[in-house]
Amino acid sequence: MTDKGLRILSLHGGAYALGDAATVSGLLCELVLRAGAHAVSVNHRLAPQHPAPTAVNDILTVQTTLLDSGVRTHLIVFAGESAGVRLVIALRVAARRRSRPLSAAAVIFSRAQVRLLRRHAPHARDSDQPRGANPHGRTMNAWFKPEGAVQARERTPAKGEAQAPMTTGPVARSAPIPTTMAARAFRVCGSTSAFGPKLKDQAMSILVIGSTGTIGTQVVAEIARRDVEVHALIHEAQAKPHDNVILVEGDTTDMDSMRKAMSGMTTLFLLNPVVADELNRALLMLDLAQEAGIQRVVYFSMFNADTFLDCPHACAKYAAELMIQKFRIPTTILRPNYFFQNDAPAAKTHQMPMPIGSLGTSMADARDIGEVAAIELIRRDRSPDPLPTEIIEIHGPDVITAQSAVRTWTEVLGKEVTYPGDDLRAFEKRFEKMAPNAIAYDVAGMFRGFQRDGMVAPDGASERIAAMLGRPMRTYRAFAEETAAHA
Protein backbone atom coordinates (compact mmCIF):
# COMPACT_ATOMS: atom_id res chain seq x y z
CA MET A 1 0.00 0.00 0.00
CA THR A 2 2.08 2.87 -1.28
CA ASP A 3 -0.59 5.48 -2.07
CA LYS A 4 -1.34 8.35 0.29
CA GLY A 5 -4.89 7.47 1.29
CA LEU A 6 -6.41 6.99 4.72
CA ARG A 7 -5.55 3.76 6.58
CA ILE A 8 -7.95 2.15 9.02
CA LEU A 9 -6.17 -0.10 11.53
CA SER A 10 -8.83 -2.47 12.85
CA LEU A 11 -8.64 -4.18 16.27
CA HIS A 12 -11.16 -6.96 16.92
CA GLY A 13 -12.93 -7.88 20.13
CA GLY A 14 -13.06 -11.17 21.99
CA ALA A 15 -11.85 -10.48 25.54
CA TYR A 16 -8.22 -10.62 24.27
CA ALA A 17 -8.52 -14.43 24.10
CA LEU A 18 -10.96 -15.00 21.23
CA GLY A 19 -11.75 -13.70 17.76
CA ASP A 20 -9.70 -12.79 14.74
CA ALA A 21 -9.64 -10.30 11.91
CA ALA A 22 -12.92 -11.67 10.52
CA THR A 23 -14.87 -10.79 13.68
CA VAL A 24 -15.86 -7.34 12.43
CA SER A 25 -15.24 -7.78 8.71
CA GLY A 26 -18.69 -6.55 7.63
CA LEU A 27 -18.43 -3.42 9.76
CA LEU A 28 -14.88 -2.76 8.61
CA CYS A 29 -15.91 -3.02 4.99
CA GLU A 30 -18.61 -0.42 5.60
CA LEU A 31 -16.08 1.92 7.22
CA VAL A 32 -13.83 1.53 4.22
CA LEU A 33 -16.66 2.34 1.85
CA ARG A 34 -17.73 5.43 3.77
CA ALA A 35 -14.22 6.75 4.32
CA GLY A 36 -12.75 5.81 0.94
CA ALA A 37 -9.87 4.19 2.82
CA HIS A 38 -7.66 1.13 2.82
CA ALA A 39 -7.71 -1.19 5.80
CA VAL A 40 -5.34 -3.37 7.79
CA SER A 41 -7.02 -5.84 10.12
CA VAL A 42 -4.73 -7.05 12.90
CA ASN A 43 -4.61 -10.66 14.01
CA HIS A 44 -2.71 -9.97 17.21
CA ARG A 45 -1.62 -12.84 19.40
CA LEU A 46 -4.17 -13.94 21.99
CA ALA A 47 -4.20 -14.51 25.75
CA PRO A 48 -3.60 -16.56 27.82
CA GLN A 49 -0.82 -18.03 25.69
CA HIS A 50 0.43 -14.52 25.00
CA PRO A 51 -0.28 -12.28 28.02
CA ALA A 52 -0.26 -8.48 28.01
CA PRO A 53 1.31 -6.43 26.61
CA THR A 54 1.80 -8.82 23.66
CA ALA A 55 -1.29 -7.63 21.77
CA VAL A 56 -0.31 -3.97 22.17
CA ASN A 57 3.22 -4.71 20.99
CA ASP A 58 1.89 -6.60 17.95
CA ILE A 59 -0.30 -3.66 17.01
CA LEU A 60 2.55 -1.19 17.46
CA THR A 61 4.64 -3.40 15.18
CA VAL A 62 1.96 -3.17 12.50
CA GLN A 63 1.76 0.60 12.91
CA THR A 64 5.53 0.88 12.65
CA THR A 65 5.41 -1.18 9.44
CA LEU A 66 2.86 1.26 8.04
CA LEU A 67 4.97 4.25 8.99
CA ASP A 68 8.08 2.66 7.50
CA SER A 69 6.19 2.10 4.25
CA GLY A 70 5.60 5.84 3.96
CA VAL A 71 2.15 6.19 5.53
CA ARG A 72 1.99 9.37 7.62
CA THR A 73 0.60 9.35 11.17
CA HIS A 74 -2.17 11.78 10.26
CA LEU A 75 -3.52 9.22 7.75
CA ILE A 76 -3.91 6.40 10.31
CA VAL A 77 -7.24 5.84 12.08
CA PHE A 78 -7.70 3.10 14.69
CA ALA A 79 -11.03 1.24 14.82
CA GLY A 80 -11.71 -0.87 17.91
CA GLU A 81 -14.64 -3.15 18.78
CA SER A 82 -15.32 -4.37 22.34
CA ALA A 83 -11.95 -5.47 23.73
CA GLY A 84 -10.42 -3.73 20.75
CA VAL A 85 -11.58 -0.46 22.32
CA ARG A 86 -9.40 -1.11 25.37
CA LEU A 87 -6.52 -1.88 23.08
CA VAL A 88 -7.02 1.49 21.40
CA ILE A 89 -6.93 3.15 24.81
CA ALA A 90 -3.85 1.16 25.87
CA LEU A 91 -2.12 2.20 22.66
CA ARG A 92 -2.87 5.85 23.27
CA VAL A 93 -1.61 5.62 26.83
CA ALA A 94 1.57 3.85 25.65
CA ALA A 95 2.07 6.42 22.92
CA ARG A 96 1.61 9.29 25.37
CA ARG A 97 4.15 7.83 27.77
CA ARG A 98 6.67 7.41 24.99
CA SER A 99 5.84 10.75 23.37
CA ARG A 100 5.25 8.75 20.24
CA PRO A 101 2.77 9.78 17.53
CA LEU A 102 -0.03 7.24 17.18
CA SER A 103 -2.86 8.17 14.83
CA ALA A 104 -5.11 10.95 13.62
CA ALA A 105 -8.26 9.51 15.14
CA ALA A 106 -9.99 6.48 16.57
CA VAL A 107 -13.50 5.11 16.22
CA ILE A 108 -14.89 2.70 18.81
CA PHE A 109 -17.84 0.32 19.02
CA SER A 110 -18.80 -0.47 22.61
CA ARG A 111 -20.95 1.60 24.90
CA ALA A 112 -19.35 0.09 27.99
CA GLN A 113 -15.99 1.59 27.04
CA VAL A 114 -17.04 5.20 26.40
CA ARG A 115 -16.37 6.40 29.94
CA LEU A 116 -12.96 4.77 29.96
CA LEU A 117 -12.11 6.43 26.67
CA ARG A 118 -13.16 9.83 27.98
CA ARG A 119 -10.75 9.55 30.90
CA HIS A 120 -7.88 9.49 28.45
CA ALA A 121 -9.50 11.55 25.68
CA PRO A 122 -11.76 14.22 27.21
CA HIS A 123 -12.50 15.65 23.75
CA ALA A 124 -14.11 12.41 22.62
CA ARG A 125 -17.76 12.90 21.69
CA ASP A 126 -20.84 10.83 21.00
CA SER A 127 -21.38 10.02 17.37
CA ASP A 128 -23.61 12.44 15.51
CA GLN A 129 -24.62 9.63 13.18
CA PRO A 130 -27.94 7.77 13.60
CA ARG A 131 -27.66 4.93 16.06
CA GLY A 132 -28.11 1.33 15.05
CA ALA A 133 -26.73 -2.12 15.58
CA ASN A 134 -23.28 -3.18 14.44
CA PRO A 135 -22.63 -6.86 13.68
CA HIS A 136 -22.44 -7.58 17.42
CA GLY A 137 -25.54 -5.66 18.46
CA ARG A 138 -23.66 -2.71 19.93
CA THR A 139 -23.92 0.93 19.05
CA MET A 140 -21.37 3.18 17.42
CA ASN A 141 -20.86 5.28 20.53
CA ALA A 142 -17.88 7.55 20.25
CA TRP A 143 -15.83 9.22 17.58
CA PHE A 144 -12.48 10.25 19.03
CA LYS A 145 -11.39 12.95 16.63
CA PRO A 146 -8.47 15.11 17.83
CA GLU A 147 -7.29 16.30 14.43
CA GLY A 148 -10.24 15.61 12.16
CA ALA A 149 -10.93 12.51 10.11
CA VAL A 150 -13.57 11.15 7.81
CA GLN A 151 -16.69 10.18 9.73
CA ALA A 152 -18.05 6.67 9.45
CA ARG A 153 -21.59 5.38 9.57
CA GLU A 154 -22.83 2.18 10.99
CA ARG A 155 -24.77 -0.55 9.21
CA THR A 156 -27.30 -3.17 10.26
CA PRO A 157 -26.39 -6.52 8.69
CA ALA A 158 -29.05 -8.89 7.49
CA LYS A 159 -30.38 -11.64 9.65
CA GLY A 160 -28.29 -14.74 9.20
CA GLU A 161 -25.23 -12.85 8.02
CA ALA A 162 -22.04 -14.85 7.92
CA GLN A 163 -18.58 -13.53 7.26
CA ALA A 164 -15.45 -15.05 5.83
CA PRO A 165 -11.99 -14.59 7.39
CA MET A 166 -9.97 -11.70 6.07
CA THR A 167 -6.43 -12.41 7.23
CA THR A 168 -4.18 -15.07 8.58
CA GLY A 169 -0.83 -14.94 10.35
CA PRO A 170 0.37 -13.90 13.79
CA VAL A 171 0.17 -10.15 13.27
CA ALA A 172 -1.48 -8.61 10.19
CA ARG A 173 -1.41 -8.11 6.48
CA SER A 174 -3.34 -6.04 3.99
CA ALA A 175 -6.90 -7.29 4.34
CA PRO A 176 -8.59 -8.66 1.23
CA ILE A 177 -12.20 -7.83 0.60
CA PRO A 178 -14.51 -9.78 2.92
CA THR A 179 -17.61 -11.56 1.74
CA THR A 180 -20.80 -11.49 3.74
CA MET A 181 -24.06 -13.31 3.33
CA ALA A 182 -25.77 -9.96 3.54
CA ALA A 183 -23.39 -8.94 0.78
CA ARG A 184 -24.31 -5.28 0.87
CA ALA A 185 -20.78 -4.14 1.63
CA PHE A 186 -19.23 -6.92 -0.43
CA ARG A 187 -21.22 -6.04 -3.53
CA VAL A 188 -19.75 -2.55 -3.57
CA CYS A 189 -16.27 -3.46 -2.34
CA GLY A 190 -16.01 -6.11 -4.99
CA SER A 191 -15.58 -3.50 -7.70
CA THR A 192 -13.03 -1.36 -5.85
CA SER A 193 -9.61 -1.68 -4.28
CA ALA A 194 -10.88 -0.43 -0.92
CA PHE A 195 -9.02 -3.09 1.05
CA GLY A 196 -5.81 -2.86 -0.95
CA PRO A 197 -5.16 -5.32 -3.78
CA LYS A 198 -8.03 -6.02 -6.14
CA LEU A 199 -9.48 -9.51 -6.08
CA LYS A 200 -8.04 -10.30 -9.47
CA ASP A 201 -4.55 -9.79 -8.06
CA GLN A 202 -5.08 -12.73 -5.72
CA ALA A 203 -5.31 -16.45 -6.46
CA MET A 204 -8.74 -17.11 -7.92
CA SER A 205 -9.70 -20.23 -9.82
CA ILE A 206 -13.43 -20.34 -10.50
CA LEU A 207 -14.76 -22.48 -13.35
CA VAL A 208 -18.32 -21.93 -14.61
CA ILE A 209 -19.92 -24.91 -16.38
CA GLY A 210 -23.04 -23.78 -18.23
CA SER A 211 -21.60 -20.33 -18.90
CA THR A 212 -23.39 -19.56 -22.14
CA GLY A 213 -27.06 -19.89 -21.16
CA THR A 214 -29.49 -17.42 -19.62
CA ILE A 215 -28.21 -17.97 -16.08
CA GLY A 216 -24.60 -18.83 -16.85
CA THR A 217 -23.95 -15.60 -18.76
CA GLN A 218 -25.24 -13.64 -15.77
CA VAL A 219 -23.02 -15.59 -13.37
CA VAL A 220 -19.91 -14.94 -15.45
CA ALA A 221 -20.79 -11.27 -15.91
CA GLU A 222 -21.37 -10.72 -12.18
CA ILE A 223 -18.08 -12.35 -11.21
CA ALA A 224 -16.17 -10.38 -13.84
CA ARG A 225 -17.87 -7.14 -12.77
CA ARG A 226 -16.38 -7.62 -9.33
CA ASP A 227 -12.91 -7.60 -10.88
CA VAL A 228 -12.52 -11.32 -10.27
CA GLU A 229 -11.02 -13.64 -12.84
CA VAL A 230 -13.38 -16.42 -13.95
CA HIS A 231 -12.95 -19.39 -16.28
CA ALA A 232 -15.98 -19.96 -18.51
CA LEU A 233 -16.48 -23.33 -20.19
CA ILE A 234 -17.46 -23.04 -23.87
CA HIS A 235 -17.95 -25.61 -26.64
CA GLU A 236 -16.24 -23.64 -29.39
CA ALA A 237 -14.06 -20.56 -29.74
CA GLN A 238 -15.79 -17.20 -29.32
CA ALA A 239 -14.95 -13.61 -28.41
CA LYS A 240 -14.14 -12.86 -24.77
CA PRO A 241 -17.06 -11.02 -23.12
CA HIS A 242 -14.82 -9.34 -20.51
CA ASP A 243 -11.13 -8.93 -19.71
CA ASN A 244 -11.59 -10.91 -16.50
CA VAL A 245 -13.06 -13.90 -18.35
CA ILE A 246 -10.83 -16.77 -19.48
CA LEU A 247 -12.56 -18.97 -22.05
CA VAL A 248 -11.95 -22.69 -21.65
CA GLU A 249 -13.04 -25.12 -24.36
CA GLY A 250 -14.58 -28.36 -23.17
CA ASP A 251 -17.55 -30.67 -23.39
CA THR A 252 -19.32 -32.28 -20.44
CA THR A 253 -19.61 -35.50 -22.45
CA ASP A 254 -15.84 -35.59 -23.06
CA MET A 255 -14.03 -36.55 -19.87
CA ASP A 256 -10.54 -35.75 -21.15
CA SER A 257 -11.55 -32.20 -22.06
CA MET A 258 -13.23 -31.75 -18.67
CA ARG A 259 -10.21 -33.07 -16.76
CA LYS A 260 -8.16 -30.46 -18.58
CA ALA A 261 -10.73 -27.73 -17.87
CA MET A 262 -10.87 -28.55 -14.15
CA SER A 263 -7.11 -28.80 -13.72
CA GLY A 264 -5.95 -26.13 -11.25
CA MET A 265 -9.48 -25.04 -10.40
CA THR A 266 -10.55 -24.68 -6.77
CA THR A 267 -14.18 -23.58 -7.17
CA LEU A 268 -16.86 -24.87 -9.53
CA PHE A 269 -20.24 -23.60 -10.69
CA LEU A 270 -22.25 -26.46 -12.17
CA LEU A 271 -25.37 -25.91 -14.28
CA ASN A 272 -26.41 -28.77 -16.51
CA PRO A 273 -28.61 -28.34 -19.59
CA VAL A 274 -32.08 -29.86 -19.89
CA VAL A 275 -31.06 -32.87 -21.94
CA ALA A 276 -31.89 -36.56 -21.89
CA ASP A 277 -28.66 -37.43 -20.05
CA GLU A 278 -28.82 -34.50 -17.61
CA LEU A 279 -28.37 -36.69 -14.53
CA ASN A 280 -25.48 -38.57 -16.09
CA ARG A 281 -23.67 -35.32 -16.86
CA ALA A 282 -24.30 -33.90 -13.39
CA LEU A 283 -22.94 -36.95 -11.58
CA LEU A 284 -19.93 -37.20 -13.88
CA MET A 285 -19.03 -33.54 -13.36
CA LEU A 286 -19.35 -33.80 -9.58
CA ASP A 287 -17.21 -36.93 -9.61
CA LEU A 288 -14.56 -35.31 -11.81
CA ALA A 289 -14.56 -32.28 -9.52
CA GLN A 290 -13.70 -34.54 -6.59
CA GLU A 291 -11.00 -36.22 -8.65
CA ALA A 292 -9.55 -32.77 -9.39
CA GLY A 293 -9.57 -31.88 -5.69
CA ILE A 294 -12.24 -29.19 -6.01
CA GLN A 295 -13.81 -28.66 -2.58
CA ARG A 296 -15.84 -25.54 -3.32
CA VAL A 297 -18.95 -26.03 -5.44
CA VAL A 298 -22.08 -24.06 -6.26
CA TYR A 299 -24.66 -26.40 -7.78
CA PHE A 300 -27.62 -25.04 -9.72
CA SER A 301 -30.69 -27.10 -8.81
CA MET A 302 -34.32 -25.95 -8.79
CA PHE A 303 -37.07 -25.14 -6.31
CA ASN A 304 -39.26 -28.17 -5.58
CA ALA A 305 -36.68 -30.56 -7.04
CA ASP A 306 -37.44 -32.84 -4.10
CA THR A 307 -41.20 -32.60 -4.76
CA PHE A 308 -41.54 -32.93 -8.54
CA LEU A 309 -40.25 -36.50 -8.50
CA ASP A 310 -42.42 -37.46 -11.48
CA CYS A 311 -40.44 -35.03 -13.65
CA PRO A 312 -37.09 -36.35 -14.99
CA HIS A 313 -35.57 -32.84 -15.06
CA ALA A 314 -36.40 -32.22 -11.40
CA CYS A 315 -35.46 -35.76 -10.44
CA ALA A 316 -32.02 -35.30 -12.02
CA LYS A 317 -31.49 -32.14 -9.98
CA TYR A 318 -32.51 -33.84 -6.77
CA ALA A 319 -30.37 -36.92 -7.42
CA ALA A 320 -27.34 -34.67 -7.84
CA GLU A 321 -28.22 -33.04 -4.52
CA LEU A 322 -28.29 -36.48 -2.92
CA MET A 323 -24.83 -37.24 -4.27
CA ILE A 324 -23.54 -33.96 -2.86
CA GLN A 325 -24.96 -34.80 0.56
CA LYS A 326 -23.95 -38.46 0.52
CA PHE A 327 -20.32 -37.74 -0.29
CA ARG A 328 -20.21 -34.52 1.75
CA ILE A 329 -19.08 -32.32 -1.11
CA PRO A 330 -18.83 -28.75 0.28
CA THR A 331 -21.50 -27.08 -1.83
CA THR A 332 -23.98 -24.26 -1.99
CA ILE A 333 -27.08 -25.82 -3.55
CA LEU A 334 -29.06 -23.09 -5.28
CA ARG A 335 -32.77 -23.80 -5.68
CA PRO A 336 -34.08 -20.98 -7.87
CA ASN A 337 -37.70 -20.48 -8.77
CA TYR A 338 -38.95 -19.97 -12.33
CA PHE A 339 -37.30 -16.88 -13.81
CA PHE A 340 -38.87 -13.89 -15.52
CA GLN A 341 -36.91 -14.27 -18.73
CA ASN A 342 -38.95 -17.36 -19.64
CA ASP A 343 -41.89 -14.99 -20.23
CA ALA A 344 -39.99 -12.52 -22.43
CA PRO A 345 -41.53 -13.83 -25.72
CA ALA A 346 -44.89 -12.39 -24.60
CA ALA A 347 -43.61 -8.92 -25.53
CA LYS A 348 -43.59 -9.92 -29.20
CA THR A 349 -46.13 -12.73 -29.50
CA HIS A 350 -48.73 -11.23 -27.12
CA GLN A 351 -49.23 -14.72 -25.73
CA MET A 352 -47.91 -16.20 -22.50
CA PRO A 353 -45.42 -18.91 -23.44
CA MET A 354 -45.53 -21.19 -20.37
CA PRO A 355 -48.47 -22.96 -18.64
CA ILE A 356 -47.63 -21.84 -15.09
CA GLY A 357 -51.18 -22.32 -13.81
CA SER A 358 -53.13 -20.45 -11.16
CA LEU A 359 -51.58 -21.58 -7.86
CA GLY A 360 -48.81 -19.02 -8.06
CA THR A 361 -45.09 -18.83 -8.75
CA SER A 362 -42.59 -16.67 -6.80
CA MET A 363 -40.62 -15.83 -9.93
CA ALA A 364 -37.21 -14.17 -9.86
CA ASP A 365 -35.11 -12.28 -12.38
CA ALA A 366 -32.26 -14.27 -13.95
CA ARG A 367 -29.93 -11.35 -13.19
CA ASP A 368 -30.70 -11.59 -9.48
CA ILE A 369 -30.21 -15.36 -9.60
CA GLY A 370 -26.88 -14.92 -11.37
CA GLU A 371 -25.72 -12.37 -8.82
CA VAL A 372 -26.54 -14.68 -5.91
CA ALA A 373 -24.54 -17.43 -7.59
CA ALA A 374 -21.59 -15.09 -8.11
CA ILE A 375 -21.67 -14.00 -4.46
CA GLU A 376 -21.66 -17.62 -3.32
CA LEU A 377 -18.86 -18.61 -5.70
CA ILE A 378 -16.62 -15.81 -4.51
CA ARG A 379 -17.50 -16.44 -0.86
CA ARG A 380 -16.51 -20.08 -1.16
CA ASP A 381 -13.42 -19.36 -3.24
CA ARG A 382 -12.24 -16.73 -0.74
CA SER A 383 -12.65 -19.04 2.25
CA PRO A 384 -9.37 -20.57 3.46
CA ASP A 385 -11.22 -23.80 4.26
CA PRO A 386 -14.14 -25.55 2.52
CA LEU A 387 -17.45 -24.26 3.87
CA PRO A 388 -20.35 -26.48 5.00
CA THR A 389 -22.99 -27.47 2.49
CA GLU A 390 -26.10 -25.30 2.51
CA ILE A 391 -29.24 -24.83 0.43
CA ILE A 392 -30.34 -21.38 -0.73
CA GLU A 393 -33.76 -20.98 -2.32
CA ILE A 394 -34.06 -18.00 -4.65
CA HIS A 395 -37.52 -16.48 -4.89
CA GLY A 396 -38.77 -13.15 -6.16
CA PRO A 397 -40.82 -10.65 -4.16
CA ASP A 398 -44.17 -11.30 -5.90
CA VAL A 399 -46.36 -14.35 -6.46
CA ILE A 400 -47.32 -14.47 -10.14
CA THR A 401 -50.17 -16.52 -11.60
CA ALA A 402 -51.09 -17.00 -15.24
CA GLN A 403 -53.91 -14.50 -14.76
CA SER A 404 -51.79 -11.82 -13.07
CA ALA A 405 -49.06 -12.25 -15.69
CA VAL A 406 -51.61 -11.67 -18.47
CA ARG A 407 -52.83 -8.50 -16.74
CA THR A 408 -49.30 -7.19 -16.31
CA TRP A 409 -48.27 -7.70 -19.92
CA THR A 410 -51.58 -6.35 -21.24
CA GLU A 411 -51.16 -3.16 -19.20
CA VAL A 412 -47.50 -2.74 -20.11
CA LEU A 413 -47.91 -3.40 -23.84
CA GLY A 414 -51.24 -1.64 -24.21
CA LYS A 415 -52.40 -4.65 -26.21
CA GLU A 416 -54.32 -7.73 -25.24
CA VAL A 417 -52.14 -10.63 -24.15
CA THR A 418 -53.64 -14.11 -23.95
CA TYR A 419 -52.92 -17.28 -22.00
CA PRO A 420 -53.31 -20.51 -24.02
CA GLY A 421 -54.49 -22.37 -20.96
CA ASP A 422 -53.23 -25.21 -18.77
CA ASP A 423 -53.44 -27.92 -21.42
CA LEU A 424 -50.05 -29.62 -21.05
CA ARG A 425 -50.46 -31.79 -24.15
CA ALA A 426 -50.98 -28.69 -26.29
CA PHE A 427 -47.96 -27.07 -24.65
CA GLU A 428 -45.88 -30.16 -25.33
CA LYS A 429 -46.73 -29.93 -29.03
CA ARG A 430 -45.76 -26.25 -29.16
CA PHE A 431 -42.49 -26.96 -27.33
CA GLU A 432 -41.56 -29.71 -29.78
CA LYS A 433 -40.82 -26.95 -32.27
CA MET A 434 -37.85 -25.93 -30.08
CA ALA A 435 -36.68 -29.25 -28.57
CA PRO A 436 -36.87 -33.03 -29.05
CA ASN A 437 -40.23 -34.50 -28.10
CA ALA A 438 -38.79 -36.33 -25.08
CA ILE A 439 -37.52 -33.02 -23.68
CA ALA A 440 -40.84 -31.35 -24.50
CA TYR A 441 -42.59 -34.08 -22.53
CA ASP A 442 -40.14 -33.60 -19.63
CA VAL A 443 -40.71 -29.83 -19.51
CA ALA A 444 -44.47 -30.34 -19.67
CA GLY A 445 -44.10 -32.66 -16.68
CA MET A 446 -42.36 -29.89 -14.78
CA PHE A 447 -45.29 -27.54 -15.40
CA ARG A 448 -47.61 -30.28 -14.22
CA GLY A 449 -45.91 -29.77 -10.87
CA PHE A 450 -46.47 -26.00 -11.13
CA GLN A 451 -50.18 -26.55 -11.68
CA ARG A 452 -50.50 -29.29 -9.06
CA ASP A 453 -48.31 -27.99 -6.20
CA GLY A 454 -47.54 -24.37 -7.02
CA MET A 455 -44.18 -22.62 -6.73
CA VAL A 456 -44.89 -20.19 -3.90
CA ALA A 457 -41.96 -19.17 -1.70
CA PRO A 458 -41.96 -19.75 2.06
CA ASP A 459 -42.28 -16.67 4.23
CA GLY A 460 -39.19 -14.45 4.31
CA ALA A 461 -37.41 -16.17 1.41
CA SER A 462 -37.21 -13.17 -0.90
CA GLU A 463 -36.13 -10.93 1.97
CA ARG A 464 -33.13 -13.16 2.56
CA ILE A 465 -32.08 -12.85 -1.08
CA ALA A 466 -32.58 -9.07 -1.00
CA ALA A 467 -30.26 -8.98 2.03
CA MET A 468 -27.63 -10.97 0.12
CA LEU A 469 -27.88 -8.60 -2.82
CA GLY A 470 -27.89 -5.52 -0.64
CA ARG A 471 -30.85 -4.09 -2.58
CA PRO A 472 -34.48 -4.90 -3.40
CA MET A 473 -35.00 -7.70 -5.87
CA ARG A 474 -36.26 -6.86 -9.34
CA THR A 475 -40.03 -7.09 -9.79
CA TYR A 476 -41.97 -8.86 -12.50
CA ARG A 477 -43.65 -5.67 -13.67
CA ALA A 478 -40.33 -3.84 -13.93
CA PHE A 479 -39.01 -6.70 -16.05
CA ALA A 480 -42.07 -6.56 -18.31
CA GLU A 481 -41.67 -2.81 -18.77
CA GLU A 482 -37.98 -3.15 -19.54
CA THR A 483 -38.59 -5.98 -22.01
CA ALA A 484 -41.42 -4.12 -23.72
CA ALA A 485 -39.23 -1.06 -24.15
CA HIS A 486 -36.70 -3.12 -26.12
CA ALA A 487 -39.16 -5.32 -28.02
Instruction: Break the chain into its structural domains and give their ranges.
Output: 7-197, 203-485
Prediction pTM value: 0.61
pLDDT tens string, the chain, 487 residues long: the values are: 444 578 888 888 877 777 777 666 666 776 777 777 788 888 888 887 788 888 888 888 888 888 888 888 878 888 888 788 888 888 877 777 666 667 778 887 764 444 444 444 444 444 433 333 333 333 333 333 333 333 333 333 344 443 333 222 222 223 332 322 222 222 222 222 223 333 333 355 899 999 999 999 999 999 999 989 999 999 887 777 778 899 999 999 999 999 999 999 999 999 999 999 999 999 999 999 999 999 999 999 999 999 999 999 999 999 999 999 999 999 999 999 999 999 999 999 999 999 999 999 999 999 999 999 999 999 999 988 899 999 999 999 999 999 999 999 999 999 999 999 999 999 999 999 999 999 999 999 999 999 999 999 999 999 999 999 999 999 999 999 999 999 8
Residue-level pLDDT at 240 = 74
CA gap 76, 1 in Å, rounded: 13
Residue 57 CB partners (closer than 8 Å, separation 6+): none
Residue 185 CB partners (closer than 8 Å, separation 6+): 26, 29, 30, 33, 155, 178, 470
> How many residues would you count in the chain?
487
What CATH topology corresponds to 203-485? Rossmann fold (3.40.50)
Residue-level pLDDT at 172 = 29
CA gap 348, 483 in Å, rounded: 10
- Spatial contact of 36 and 4, defined as CB atoms under 8 Å apart: no
Residue-level pLDDT at 157 = 38
